[in-house]
Amino acid sequence: MGVLTDAWGWLTTGAHWTAEDGIGQRLAEHVYVSGAALLIAAALALPLGLWLGHLGRGGALAVNVSNVGRAIPVFAVLALFMVSPLRNAGYVPTVVALVLFAIPPLLTNAYVGVREVDRAAVRAAWGMGMTGGQLFRRVELPLARPVVMTGVRSAAVQVVATATVAAMVGQGGLGRIITAGFATYDTAQVVAGAVLVALLALLVEGALVGLDRLLGCRGRPAGLPDER
C-alpha cells in the first residue's frame, strides 16, 4: 500500500500536472498519437474489411494480415523507423507503427462481422428486391455492428496501451512519465504513469461501449419483415 500511497501523492501534486513536460502535456501527446493512429487505421481497414465481407471474398487476406500484424513487435517497427529518414518527422514514426498494429483487429472483425450476418436475413433482403448497396447499408452493416465495434474497442485499447512504448525511442506520451521514473529510480512516478495509462485505456473502452449502445438504439435493420 505504501507504493500506491506514494503514487497517489505524486498524481495529486499540482506541479506534476502544470509543468511544461507534466502530466497534462504528456496526456495530450498520448491522446493525439493514439487518436490519429486509430482514425487512420479505421479509415484504411474498416472499408476494406466490410467490402470483402460483403463480397464474400478475401477471407484468407484478412486472416493473414491479422496474423502478420500480431507477429510484428511494435517496438521493433519503431526502432527501424528511428534509424530511417522518418526519425526527424515528429510523431510520424509512432503513428505509423501504431497504425500497423491497429489494422489487424479492425480488418478481421469487419470482415467476420459481415460474413456472420444471418443468411436468412440476406436472402429476405434479396427477395424484397434490394440492391447490393441497399443490402449492405440496411441489413449487413447494422447486423455486423456488434462484431465490428468489438474490433474497434480492441484496437483502441491496444493502441492506447502500446503507445507507451514510444517513450523508449524518445517519443512523447504518458510513457515518458514511466521512463523518467525508471531513470530516477522513482517507483511512485513509475506506478503513477502506469495508472494513468490504465485509466486512459478504461476511459476509451467505456466511451466506445457507450457509442456502441447508442448505435444499437437505432433498432432493427430497416426494410426487413418482423419475425413471428
Residue 54 in contact with residue 63, Cβ under 8 Å?
no
Of the candidates 168, 169, 150, the one whose C-alpha atom is nearest the C-alpha of residue 158 is 150
Classify domain 2-216 by CATH number: 1.10.3720.10
Domain definitions of the chain by residue range: 2-216
- φ, ψ (nearest 5 deg) of residue 186: -100, 90
Residue pLDDT, tens place only, 168-202: 777 788 999 999 998 988 899 999 999 999 999 99
pTM: 0.85
Residue pLDDT, tens place only, 10-55: 898 888 888 888 899 999 999 999 999 999 999 999 999 999 888 8
Q: How far is CA 22 from CA 159, 162, 171, 193, in A?
A: 21, 20, 15, 11
Maximum C-alpha span of the chain: 69
> At residue 81, what is the residue type?
F
Looking at residue 227, what is its pLDDT?
44
Is the torsion defined by CA of 164, 165, 166, 169 positive or negative? positive
Residue-by-residue DSSP string for 105-116: HHHHHHHHHHHT
